[in-house]
Amino acid sequence: MKKNAEFDLRASVMNQDNEWLPSPMPGVHRKMLDRIGDEVARATTIVRYAPGSQFSAHTHTGGEEFIVLEGVFQDQSGDFPVGSYVRNPPESSHTPSSKPGCVIFVKLWQFDMEDRTSVHLNMNDLELSPDTTRPGVKTGAIYSDHREDVRLEAWDSGTTTTIETDGGAEILILSGSLSENGETLQQHDWLRLPDGYTAVLKAGEAGVKIWVKTGHLKYVIDPADLLH
């Protein structure tokens, strides 16, 4: 299966227009954003756990990165409320579930296979500092290495600015809205910009809070190439 698999092109998905599809596990549904592969896939997805649902124990051979958007995600390491950011590197394992139900944004098979760095934090606790190069923007570091930079940004109402797209960029709207290329993106909408794309974005009247990842689209892989 392929969805938004042309990584040299701009891609956007509006959450309200993206239908829920059943996963192999009862009570777990998903909205696909981009994907290369079937059940073992390089994938970016929004996943919904019904109350009391769970996945069986499994290992993330290619790593997993997720943000809790609604409810409480749970596994053997604890409870993760809204705003939690979790980075589980390759070969990590867990048994995910949610007694109250939850919605998460999740990325699979997008790590260096030798990476063993894990991150557990709540983005609500990040201290945001003014970006001296972009008036009206505050940023907070989430994670950075030689392949990517991951951060939280808050833009004031009406702020018009740019996003660095060297190596590509990916944006998830956490709250508020922004516009780019004639489109208005709102909460839980997703935007991916290719390497070298010139992006000028404008925050809506209520401002916008976004999760941003840059640099990583230089390293797109098909899991099937690593498993054979």
- pLDDT tens, position by position, 117-133: 999 999 999 999 999 99
Helix (H) or strand (E) holding 36: strand 28-37
Of 122, 145, 164, the residue that ends a domain is 122
163 and 118 in a single domain? The answer is no
> For residue 226, what pLDDT band results from cuts at 50, 70 and 90?
low
To the nearest whole number, what is the mean pLDDT of the chain? 95
* 227 pLDDT higher than 70: no
> For residue 214, what pLDDT band results from cuts at 50, 70 and 90?
very high
25 and 113 in a single domain? The answer is yes
33 three-state secondary structure: strand
Structural domain count, the chain:
2
Mean pLDDT score, 182-209: 97
Query: What's the CATH number where 132 sits?
Result: 2.60.120.10
> For residue 166, what pLDDT band results from cuts at 50, 70 and 90?
very high
Q: What is the pLDDT of residues 24-83, one digit of tens each?
A: 889 999 999 999 998 889 999 999 999 999 888 888 899 999 999 999 999 988 999 999
86 and 102 in a single domain? The answer is yes
> For residue 159, what pLDDT band results from cuts at 50, 70 and 90?
very high
30 and 56 in a single domain? The answer is yes
* 91 pLDDT higher than 90: yes
In angstroms, how far is the first alpha carbon of the chain from the final one? 18
Q: What is the pLDDT of residues 133-153, one digit of tens each?
A: 999 999 999 999 999 999 999
113 and 29 in a single domain? The answer is yes
Looking at the domain assignment, is residue 227 inside a domain?
Answer: no
162 and 197 in a single domain? The answer is yes
Range of 50's domain?
2-122
Mean pLDDT score, 84-97: 93
* 176 pLDDT higher than 80: yes
Query: Read out DSSP for 131-167?
Result: -TTSTTEEEEEEEE-SS-EEEEEEE-TT-EEE---TT
61 and 107 in a single domain? The answer is yes
Mean pLDDT score, 173-202: 97
Return the ∠ at Cα 40 (arms to 83 and 115), rounded to 5°.
60
